[in-house]
Structure 1
Amino acid sequence: MKRFWVPLLLTFLFVFESLFVQLVPGDLFKEGYVFVPRFLIISIFFLTMYGSVKHGLIYGFIFGLLYDMVYTEIIGIYLFMFPLSAYIFSGFMRILQTNILVVSFVSIICVALLEAGVYQMNLLIHITDMDFSSFSKIRLIPTLILNLVFIILSAYPLKRLFEKFSDSLRND
């Protein structure tokens, strides 16, 4: 039964991201800021750190594909970026300590890299024509603030859940 908590949580976060965007008004601050919830990929980062790198990459691949199929017109951007982000995160964490504050900080950095990578891909295929300074002011910084709040609220519960998941994998 413990093995089903991780896919259920990640599926819930996948759905909750779209609900969050629907329920939180876009003009909340009347400045045209875009807040992009990246709760799912942050959870995949924590799974990669406290659970298993293999499971983090697999779930990154699966949910990247789902993300592309549901939210974007082009299959491949998130399919490529989610596992790549999880892999880069695991590379950082091999060098750094596994302290929850360090994991949270590196998660924010990897969310910024994910956002910048998706922006560059959209710029490359002419989906957007926004310059990087406008992108960082309108989308990147508000996204990082929103996701930092999510990390502050959920880092410890995610750590505990994925440590239990890792223990159940070792015991089976």
Structure 2
Amino acid sequence: MIRCLLPFFIFLLFIIEGTVFQVFSPDRFGSEAIIIPRFAFIFVIVITIFLGRTTGGIYAIVLGLFQDVIYTHVLGIYIFSMFFTAYLLGFTYKIFQKNLYLLIITAVFGTLVLDYLVYGIHFMVGITNLAHEQFLYERLLPSLVVNSVFMIIIAFPLRKFLLFLQKNDDVEEKINKRKKDFRWQR
């Protein structure tokens, strides 16, 4: 039951990125900056760090599919980019769980990698001709600031929740192992 909350939170963050957050977008107020929130992907990165590359990869593929279908006209760019980034950061599986600061830095770094991958693929395919400096100053830096603030706010409660899930999984595994051992003893 508790595990069903993870996809729900990711979906909720995905909806917030595309709807509610657009109300506060700087370009509505005449700014040149374009903020691209990656809240759901940050959630996926933290899930990858705590629950492993396989689980995080599945969430990244599904989120990437949603992103591709709803926001882009080229299927596969976000699927590949999100999966690759989540899988790459999944190698920090046990190392960065213990340190909250490293978790925050890793998640923000993941959004940086994702944005550069998406920009690079769009540039190589010819979908965009946006200059690197313009991408850096108008999109990447404002997005990194907003995503960093979000990660700082959500890091501690999310870490506690995922540690709770890990603990429950360990308890369930021990109970199942004892049941199997008990059956063999009969």
Query: What TM-score results when the alignment is normalised by the length of structure 1?
Result: 0.91
1:33 aligns with: 33
**Which amino acid in 2 is paired with 1:152?**
I
State the 1:69 CA deviation.
Answer: 0.9
State the 1:52 CA deviation.
Answer: 3.0
2:77 aligns with: 77
2:182 aligns with: none
Bigger Cα Rg:
2
1:104 aligns with: 104
* Number of aligned residue pairs: 171
1:164 aligns with: 164
**Which amino acid in 2 is paired with 1:100?**
L
Native 8 Å contact 2:25 2:34 kept in 1 = no
State the 1:51 CA deviation.
Answer: 2.6
1:8 aligns with: 8
Aligned: 1:129 with 2:129: yes
Native 8 Å contact 1:2 1:168 kept in 2 = no
1:50 aligns with: 50
Cα distance in 2, alignment partners of residues 147 and 18 from structure 1: 14
**Which amino acid in 2 is paired with 1:7?**
P
Instruction: Please identify, of 14-23 and 154-163, the stretch whose mean Cα deviation from structure 2 is larger.
Output: 14-23
Query: What TM-score results when the alignment is normalised by the length of structure 2?
Result: 0.85
1:86 aligns with: 86
1:118 aligns with: 118
Cα distance in 2, alignment partners of residues 28 and 100 from structure 1: 34
Shift in CA distance, 94/12, structure 1 to aligned 2, threshold 3 Å:
closer
**Which amino acid in 2 is paired with 1:139?**
R
CA displacement, residues 96-155 of structure 1 (integer Å, 9 cap, x when unaligned): 543110111121112111101100111112221111111100001001000011011100
Q: Which has the higher contact order (CA 8 A, sep 6+)?
A: 1
Native 8 Å contact 1:20 1:37 kept in 2 = no
2:20 aligns with: 20
Shift in CA distance, 87/167, structure 1 to aligned 2, threshold 3 Å:
same
**Which amino acid in 1 is paired with 2:84?**
L
CA displacement, residues 46-100 of structure 1 (integer Å, 9 cap, x when unaligned): 1111233321111011111111111111110011011111111122x25954311
1:139 aligns with: 139
Consecutive unaligned residues of structure 2, counting only runs of 5 or more, are 173-186
Instruction: Please identify, of 80-89 and 20-29, the stretch whose mean Cα deviation from structure 2 is larger.
Output: 20-29
Consecutive unaligned residues of structure 1, counting only runs of 5 or more, are none
State the identity as a percent: 27
